[in-house]
Chains A and B, each alone.
Chain A
Amino acid sequence: MNALEIRDLSVYYRTPLGRVKVLDSLTVDFPESKTTGIVGESGSGKSTLGFAITRLLPPTAIVNGSIRYYGEDLMRLPSKRLREVRGTGVFMIMQDPFSSLNPVKRVGDQLLEALQVRYERRGESFDYASARKEAVKRLNDVKLPDPELVMTKYPYQLSGGQIQRVVIAMGLLLEPKVIIADEPTSALDVSIQAQVISLLKELQESYGMTLLFITHDLAVATAVSDNVLILYAGRIMEQGDISSTVKKPLHPYTQGLLKSFPSGSYKEGKLFSLKGLPPSFFNLPSGCRFSDRCPYAFDRCYKDEPEVYDVEGRKVRCFLYGKRRKRRRSGRVHGSGIGPDQVFPCREGRNT
């Protein structure tokens, strides 16, 4: 069962310089009770995807395609029903914890407000005492010390890690089916990041939620997710389960990302680095969007954009894995000089 099914989702932004297509015909399923890491660099469209699902995009955005949430097309929902889905259906944890709570209301009141919404939607009557008890219990679940005391505090009296936990507790109170976490740890220190990641993973497993974890850090995605989606310039480049993707990345971009991750010391040789910069949406390369940075690019990559190919149960958008039409005796892909089997494993091949 899929919690979310996205078909041909395109998002454009109207800008003074014209329309830009920030997400380009995205088709992806998010299976229920699994964690999917959505990985990309800045400007890859990863946050836009999160906002598109919650329909929180700015008014300058134009959206095409469909996003089905348990069969219901979120793009066509009337606003009344949409409000019911938000919060108790799909809950989003924003990147900046400080801007996601109301600064002039106590934490406890904000948690109770969330609970009140849940009670109302289920047609139950709101009982202050038991609601308060539940809120304290959830704050305990997210491992905040002194939950009773935290309830009486204002957001500015808490640290970033504590606020992020309050937001997660609020999410739990709403009992959503899907949680979208947009870089929930990038404003936090390593030790707090590890706490929040383990917490989310633990809670996801015990409550069976579907978690979409948006991050720029492939290592963080590895620690938290079951599946991974690699975005580059608004396109899905690779998609599959996390352990095979990290162990044997298919797309040259994923390989480059993994290889450029610092490991060892500079004395052992230079880090691999992809040449160039991620493209601007105003000036996308023709053909494959990664073609101008790709070490394996050949003629066809500059002309046509590759479609998505299935390889070993994973999906990859790269001609290297296309149908081997004219097979040579060596079994290599015609024209490229390199077959998928020859693509380097990620941990080797440093250029010294």
Chain B
Amino acid sequence: MVRALDLTKYFPAEKVGILERLTGKKERYVRAVDHVDIVLKKGLTTALVGESGSGKTTIGRMLATLETPTSGTIYYGNLPLNKETLSQIRRKVQIVFQNPYESLDPRMSIREIVGEPLVKMKSEEKSRRVREVLSAVGLKYEDIYYRKARDLSGGQRQRIAIARAMAASPEFIVLDEPTSALDASVQSQVLNLLVDLRGEFGYTYLFITHNMMVARYISDYIYVMYAGKIAESGPTEEVFENPLHPYTKLLLKSVPHLEPGTKLEPMSGEAPSLLNPPTGCRFHPRCPFATDKCRAEEPPLIDVQGHKVACHLYKK
């Protein structure tokens, strides 16, 4: 459904004026996403996990056409993304943001919010569609259409955001941490809803999250990102049952479980600065198995035991 090849996004780190350019100051870039390939299969959910600063949201924004890649191409079906195809592609793509307290206009009514993408529809048709999508996300039109987003709870707001994304009948929805601002008892409601909607309407999801257990639950395929690179990818069950990359292994050991008495095994150090990423493998300063080769040479993403992993410990 969606293929992104050699996707890269650099953000300028500071303003460099003409004067500074003349004095020989070089521009510095934050390498948020660095040569990443991602393939999303139609009708399946692909999870993108990683810590803050790993570039997962930037990828989501690029795939949702909200950010232009520095280099690389994105194909939607067979259509490459460019200026001519942009409006055509945008019709098929929607995004749900992390924080439903910020992504909905507090002064618009729910009817206006959900109907906003439907600019070309006549008012009758529009209100029918709004009714449809609201009932699909489990809200009653009559109870809610006149209310403002500020009157609603977090779970209800996130349902509204999902309804808005559905309104224009997209094929592909980017879900950027849709449950991380919600309480535990509401999170499971929203996750169930997302699974149901996908079953009913055949959406393709890109599910961005930092929560490994949520990723495991919701996805068919998973990409683990570290510092703008893909560390490991593969079918979700396999990655969880047999993680290969040291980062994935350590990440799974850092997740607290509901098993009393299990000790967490935290990894040392912090995520690197993307202004100045470490040479070689970007994980080497935190990796317990790092060798000289890891410090010097960047590992390519290779096929190992059914997943892809970027680590010198593995050979083809």
User: Which residues of chain A have a CB within 8 Å of any CB of chain B?
Assistant: 41-42, 159, 161-162, 189-195, 197-198, 216-220, 222-223, 242-243, 246-247, 256-258, 260-266, 270-274, 277-278, 293, 346
- The interface residues of chain A lying within 8 Å CB-to-CB of B156 are 277
Whether B22 is near chain A, meaning CB under 8 Å from some CB there, is no
Whether B262 is near chain A, meaning CB under 8 Å from some CB there, is yes
Nearest CB on A from B102, distance (A): 16
User: Which residues of chain B have a CB within 8 Å of any CB of chain A?
Assistant: 51-52, 153-156, 183-189, 191-192, 195, 210-214, 216-218, 236-237, 250-251, 253-268, 270-271
A247 and B257 contact, CB distance less than 8 A: no
User: A258-B258, A263-B213, A263-B217 are known contacts. Are A191 and B183 too (CB-CB below 8 A)?
Assistant: no
Identify the closest chain A residue to B266 (Cβ): A194
Residue in B153, B187, B188, B262 whose Cβ sees the most chain A Cβ within 10 Å: B188
Q: How far is the CA of A258 from the CA of B51 in the complex (A)?
A: 25
Q: How far is the CA of A217 from the CA of B211 in the complex (A)?
A: 12
B195 and A270 contact, CB distance less than 8 A: yes
Q: List 17 A-B contacts (CB under 8 A).
A: A190-B210, A190-B211, A194-B256, A195-B267, A197-B256, A198-B266, A219-B256, A243-B261, A246-B259, A256-B185, A257-B184, A260-B187, A260-B188, A262-B213, A265-B237, A273-B185, A274-B185
- The interface residues of chain A lying within 8 Å CB-to-CB of B259 are 222, 246
Q: How far is the CA of A220 from the CA of B264 in the complex (A)?
A: 10
- The interface residues of chain B lying within 8 Å CB-to-CB of A197 are 256, 264, 266
Nearest CB on A from B257, distance (A): 6
A271 and B264 contact, CB distance less than 8 A: no
A265 and B258 contact, CB distance less than 8 A: no
Residue in B154, B236, B255, B264 whose Cβ sees the most chain A Cβ within 10 Å: B264
A270 and B192 contact, CB distance less than 8 A: yes
Q: How far is the CA of A41 from the CA of B211 in the complex (A)?
A: 18
Identify the closest chain B residue to A219 (Cβ): B256
A161 and B270 contact, CB distance less than 8 A: yes
B257 and A190 contact, CB distance less than 8 A: no
Q: How far is the CA of A346 from the CA of B192 in the complex (A)?
A: 18
B153 and A261 contact, CB distance less than 8 A: no
User: A194-B264, A198-B264, A262-B217 are known contacts. Are A277 and B186 too (CB-CB below 8 A)?
Assistant: yes
- The interface residues of chain A lying within 8 Å CB-to-CB of B155 are 277
Q: How many A-B residue pairs have CB under 8 A?
A: 131
Name 10 extra pairs, CB < 8 A, besides A198-B264, A217-B184, A246-B259: A194-B253, A194-B266, A219-B257, A260-B185, A263-B213, A263-B217, A271-B191, A271-B217, A274-B189, A277-B153
Q: How far is the CA of A190 from the CA of B270 in the complex (A)?
A: 11
- The interface residues of chain A lying within 8 Å CB-to-CB of B154 are 42
- The interface residues of chain A lying within 8 Å CB-to-CB of B260 are 222, 242-243, 246-247
B270 and A42 contact, CB distance less than 8 A: no
User: A191-B250, A271-B191 are known contacts. Are A218 and B216 too (CB-CB below 8 A)?
Assistant: no
Nearest CB on A from B267, distance (A): 5
- The interface residues of chain A lying within 8 Å CB-to-CB of B258 are 218-219, 222, 246, 258, 261, 346
> Which 7 pairs, one residue from A and one from B, show the smallest C-beta to C-beta distance?
A243-B260, A194-B266, A194-B254, A260-B188, A262-B217, A273-B188, A41-B183
User: A161-B270, A189-B271, A194-B265 are known contacts. Are A260 and B217 too (CB-CB below 8 A)?
Assistant: no
User: A247-B260, A277-B155 are known contacts. Are A190 and B184 too (CB-CB below 8 A)?
Assistant: no
- The interface residues of chain A lying within 8 Å CB-to-CB of B191 are 262, 266, 271
A218 and B184 contact, CB distance less than 8 A: yes
- The interface residues of chain A lying within 8 Å CB-to-CB of B268 are 195
Q: How far is the CA of A307 from the CA of B185 in the complex (A)?
A: 24
A262 and B185 contact, CB distance less than 8 A: no
Q: How far is the CA of A243 from the CA of B258 in the complex (A)?
A: 9
Identify the closest chain B residue to A232 (Cβ): B185
User: A266-B195, A278-B183 are known contacts. Are A190 and B212 too (CB-CB below 8 A)?
Assistant: yes
User: A159-B270, A191-B251, A256-B185 are known contacts. Are A262 and B264 too (CB-CB below 8 A)?
Assistant: no
Q: How far is the CA of A189 from the CA of B227 in the complex (A)?
A: 13
- The interface residues of chain B lying within 8 Å CB-to-CB of A191 are 51, 250-251, 254, 266-267, 270-271
- The interface residues of chain B lying within 8 Å CB-to-CB of A223 are 256-257, 262, 264
Q: How far is the CA of A195 from the CA of B294 in the complex (A)?
A: 24
Nearest CB on B from A308, distance (A): 22
Q: How far is the CA of A11 from the CA of B67 in the complex (A)?
A: 47
